[in-house]
Amino acid sequence: MSNIIEITDFSDSRLDVYARLTEAQLMNKEFPENGMFIAESPKVISRALDAGYEPVSFLMEKRHIDGEGKDILSSVKDVPVFCAPFDVLTLLTGFKLTRGMLCAMRRKPLPDVREVCKNKSRIVILDRVMNPTNVGAVIRSAAALGMDAVLLTPGCSDPLYRRAARVSMGTVFQIEWTFLPDDSLDEIRSLGFKTAAMALKDNSVSVNNPALLREKKLAVIMGTEGDGLSDQTITNCDYTVKIPMHNGVDSLNVAAASAVAFYQLGNKPMDI
């Protein structure tokens, strides 16, 4: 393959996009049309390609060119494929977790909120969830358990950050998502959604409350690690919802709580 380029030196500038640019530099907020992200592992890369993301280059172990990466490389032509010995690649933080393959990809323009919510009945709103691992895990649960879309408030970690996309197992490319312009729920309400704040409050309903399941359009709102949702956000929601706890346990991690909530509230409204 003429597009295979061997690299032996970690300081090679062609590795900058993988080794030395920060997530913020890759995102390129000043010129978002030039923004990029890094997809890790053949599964995540394949799902990104299937979703129409454009590859800029690949970085991989040479042995994977005719191995796990073979089908991917055969589906994209004339994209540079940088390969290097394993001892060079392990200088990249976390490379051992990538199953031998990385891909730099161009970002797409984010859709607006109304576009994402059109014809949806179940959406997730993440409020200032800053840990990319949690964002990725919540998105994976949303995609797997019947939620239709994910909205993120300012301050959330970006779903295309390397760790978020990896933890999601590429489901960030299979479910619609976008960022809200602010923390307001007004636009969500204007689209006909009832809002359900996941919070440990006494004046709450259980996650299996029949009225929740009957709602034709429901937005499930989950808060940041530690502090959860603000009192103002909870007050402004139509429901306050909690997951019953046992054995003196006070709460679940937001990722675990999302799986429970989405399993109960996802899919189409139930006729109860």
Which CATH number belongs to the domain containing residue 14 in this structure? 3.30.1330.30
Domain check: are 165 and 75 in the same one? no
Last residue of a domain, one of 71, 106, 141: 106
Domain that holds residue 260: 113-265
b/e code 4-38 from CB counts within 10 Å (16+ = b): eeebeeeeeeebebbbebebeebbeeeeeeebbbb
- Tell me, yes or no, whether 252 lies in a domain: yes
CA angle 204, 209, 212 (to 5 degrees): 95
* Number of structural domains in the chain: 2
pLDDT tens figures, 104-139: 999 999 999 999 999 999 999 999 999 999 999 999
pLDDT band at residue 98 using 50, 70 and 90 as cut-offs: low
Tell me, what CATH number does 120's domain have? 3.40.1280.10
Looking at the structure, tell me whether residues 86 and 127 fall in a common domain: no
Q: Based on the fold, state whether residues 159 and 184 are members of the same structural domain.
A: yes
Averaged pLDDT score across all residues of the chain: 91
Contact criterion met (CB below 8 Å) for 60 and 66: no
Residue pLDDT, tens place only, 158-180? 999 999 999 999 999 999 999 99
Q: Are 60 and 100 in contact (CB under 8 A)?
A: yes
Same domain, 179 and 253: yes
In tens, the pLDDT along 191-247 reads 999 999 999 888 899 999 999 999 999 999 999 888 889 999 999 999 999 999 899
φ/ψ of residue 247, rounded to 5: 60, 30
Same domain as 221, residue 150: yes
Q: pLDDT band for 92, please (50, 70, 90 cuts).
A: confident
87 and 215 within one domain: no
pLDDT category at 268 given cuts 50, 70, 90 is low
Question: Mean pLDDT lowest for which of 23-32, 83-92, 184-193?
Answer: 83-92
Q: Is the confidence at residue 8, as pLDDT, over 70? A: yes
Let me know whether 81 and 147 are in one domain. no
Burial of 266 (0-12, 13-18, 19+ CB in 10 A): buried
In a domain, 270, yes or no: no
Contact 178, 187 (CB under 8 A): no
Query: Given this model, what pLDDT does residue 95 score?
Result: 67
Same domain, 255 and 121: yes
Could you tell me if 94 and 156 lie in one domain?
no
